[in-house]
Amino acid sequence: MTLVVVMTALAAGAQTPLNKTVRFQKDSVNISESQELIIANIAEYLGNNPGKTIIIGGYTSAETPASRVNAICEERAANVKKYLEERHHIPAERLVAVGVGVSTRYDTPEFNEYVSFYK
């Protein structure tokens, strides 16, 4: 899947969210211990659905400096992908990590620091 195809699918709402969100601290790309169970749930979903590929979309809040938005979003998604590969042995070809951009989903800015999963 190319980035253009992934971003077009996300923008069009073609992907179904898995209703799991990994939260990050502001300006952080590190996965906190409190979020590991959520990632384990995604790994379990993938284990039960061996033919599925998921998109891991990284977001940040509007408070993030514009010069850092892409890097933070991409690195968050990449770190979750790497965690699934290394800790849960999910093959890389079943995971597509993309930095989506600024989220305004929640009124509280710190809630907009996350990664979502789409099938």
Q: What are phi and psi of 107, to 5 degrees?
A: -70, -30
Contact 99, 3 (CB under 8 A): no
Q: What are phi and psi of 62, to 5 degrees?
A: -70, -15
Question: Which pLDDT belongs to residue 41?
Answer: 94
For residue 117, the one-letter residue type is F
CA 84 to chain centre: 11
What is the rounded distance in angstroms from the CA atom of residue 76 to the CA atom of residue 21? 12
> pLDDT tens across 55-104, in order?
999 999 999 999 999 999 999 999 999 999 999 999 999 999 999 999 88
pTM: 0.87
> Buried b / exposed e across 31-56, counting CB within 10 Å, b at 16+?
beeebeebbeebbeebeeeeeeebbb
